[in-house]
Amino acid sequence: MNNDGFFRAAACVPRVAVADVEGNAQAIKSVVKQAEARGAQLAVLPEMCVTGYTCADLFHNFSLLDASERAVRDLTEWSAGCGCAFVVGAPLRVGTALYNCAFAICGGRLLAIVPKTYVPNYNEFYEKRWWQPAPPEDKPFDAEVAGLVAPFGTRQLVRIDGVNIGIEICEDLWTPAPPSSLAAMAGAQVLVNLSASDDLIGKYSYLLSLVSQQSARCIAGYVYASAGYGESSTDLVFDGKGLIAENGALLAQAERWQGGEQVVVADIDIAAIDHDRMRTGSFSDCALRHGAMNWPVMEATTSVCRPDDKIEREIRPLPFVPADDAMGSRCREIINIQAAGLARRLEQIRCRATVVGISGGLDSTLALLVAAKAYDRLGWDRKGIVGITMPGFGTTGRTKGNAVRLMEELGVSMMEIPIGPAVEQHFRDIGHDSAVHDVTYENSQARERTQILMDVANKMGGMVLGTGDLSELALGWATYNGDHMSMYGVNAGVPKTLVKHLVRHFADEQAYATCRDTLLDIIDTPISPELIPADENGNITQKTEDLVGPYELHDFYLYYTLRYGFAPTRIYRMARQAFAGAYDDEVILKWLRTFYRRFFQQQFKRSCLPDGPKVGSVCLSPRGDWRMPSDASATLWLAEVESLK
């Protein structure tokens, strides 16, 4: 398989004419050539597209059946000069029975014939008038099609460019145990469905859910092509559905109700599918339990040429951030997870005092807002939340002002404890020159703040709420035993690119209208630890992203490293496409190198994290989601990054 683990598939809807076999064969060739031109390795066409699905009793006419078999042979011979593989639907006589079949074709070969397993017998789809359900034989047997011989049966796979393909037909998907489920357990990474599904009110939205869910349940790609314009409108109307899904996500869909041809193309991520199957033990357990193993496989290789190096799918630059239409619901869900986790912890330890350091930055703001929500959920007075602002050498008027206003507007208890005198005394104690703004200068401030929080919490019989986020944990951007430590890390599962959206969600909620302006200004404030003095105008001089790199790049690298285990080469290629126009290749590569170096070096900080709620599919808790030795070497990954220069 080429293309960095991506497999390009097309869902094709040709314009058919009922019973015009020769014309339909030409229409099939037309859409297959379009798919090939777009670099598709596999094109999937609708059920009975060779004859038309709505031929009805004409399916019992030998003239139509003979013409259909000749057309399948013609398409097979024609495929010798076609670069991609394709699957078409047509009738086939086997013995005295007539079957509704899918024919897999590639490179001048008829690879396999898969009959429809479940033949409907209800309402308008009384197909049992014409078709027999697939025979119950466990193993395929040879069948003839106009002189061509190919294995016939449902329990077989086709392997195209090293990718296993499972085939089912229309109604098969709608049953309690779809054949595609068995095919997936037998090793099919891409499932295809040749369909002729008419349109009814509400049916399309149900189908979208069905296809997405089946791709998720099977941890597979799913390509669905259904009959369109040209089918008979005597009793039914066909809208031309073309869908490509992957592991629960819809990658592409055809525009319905078109009078002409439709071809939709997407790259299915086989590497991601293989990764998720590998780490999901229940998937292989299920395959063993159902005996879905050792199916015969018919192999073929395409000669398709890709028109460019573009990955044919959306690669979102912010994979942790929900799409706009889901933003509100996802933010509510995340905030509820955070607040519920904190509320449960407070109840468990019988603690009504929560101490949190408030800097006027995004992370501490989110932690404070979540604490307020948790106290509201418990019916407790927010005065039990003690916000402490601890101005130091780099604190600006803007951040301190926002910190104070936010605490006042939320109605929490507030303290101000400057750290300057204590840190200067500490410098004298350890013999450090305060004019030297090195790591000692910075970390002494962070540890002094943590000492204050811990000691105030002890005095009040309370707990310290951590504010550090997932991105900082990944990069080790925290002072060990400083802001690295707390008694509950409420933001530990939230990446930096998502924090501002959660804060904005609070700002847009009516219950937090009193602090909306403050929250919006905090969102607009540059990200900084404020450990280095401000400039002569009181502006922040130490900007985090200038030092460790843009968080949107690091969060992209983090997501694909942890969620899918992708290698640097693949992540680099995806990042180049996702951030085209925003960052040049040199910048992407520079911070990719930084990411791997810091991610490995800083594992020791993650090995002793406080408890905190998991909110998404990526988490760095050493107790469950990410277990890595602190002395693991990054040599392998850094060497691959260097090879990308």
Q: Which of 36, 47, 312, 442 is catalytic?
A: 47
Residue type, 582: A
Residue 47 bears catalytic tag: yes
Would you list the DSSP string of 56-84?
A: GGGGG-HHHHHHHHHHHHHHHHHGGG-SS
Closest CA to 352 of 374, 384, 381: 384
Would you list the DSSP string of 596-626?
A: HHHHHHTHHHHTTPPP----SS----TTTT-
Q: Distance (Å, rounded) from C-alpha 336 to C-alpha 56?
A: 55
CA atoms within 13 A on the CB side of 17: 8
Q: Are strands 463-466 and 385-389 parallel, antiparallel or unpaired?
A: unpaired
Backbone angles phi, psi at 589, to 5 degrees: -70, -40
Give the position of tokens 């299920």.
286
- Three-state SS at 17: coil
Backbone angles phi, psi at 554, to 5 degrees: -65, -40
Residue 310 bears catalytic tag: no
Residue 395: left (phi > 0), alpha (psi -120 to 50), or beta? beta
Q: Which of 12, 106, 170, 218 is catalytic?
A: 170
Q: Which of 36, 69, 116, 168 is catalytic?
A: 116
- In 3-state terms the chain splits into helix, strand, coil percentages (rounded to 5) of 45, 20, 40
Q: Distance (Å, rounded) from C-alpha 504 to C-alpha 523?
A: 8
Task: Show contacts of 350-353: CB within 8 Å, 24+ apart.
Answer: 351/461, 351/462, 351/463, 352/380, 352/384, 352/462, 353/384, 353/386, 353/457, 353/460, 353/461, 353/462, 353/463
Q: Distance (Å, rounded) from C-alpha 630 to C-alpha 162?
A: 37
| Spatial strand order in the sheet of 242-246 | 249-253, 242-246, 221-226, 190-195, 163-169, 157-160, 297-300
List the end-to-end C-alpha distance of the chain, in Å, as a whole number.
Answer: 24
Quick one: tokens of 370?
A: 């979540």
Residue 116 bears catalytic tag: yes
CA distances from 541 to 8, 232, 483 (A): 48, 71, 20
Quick one: tokens of 417?
A: 């404890």
Give catalytic residue positions.
47, 116, 170
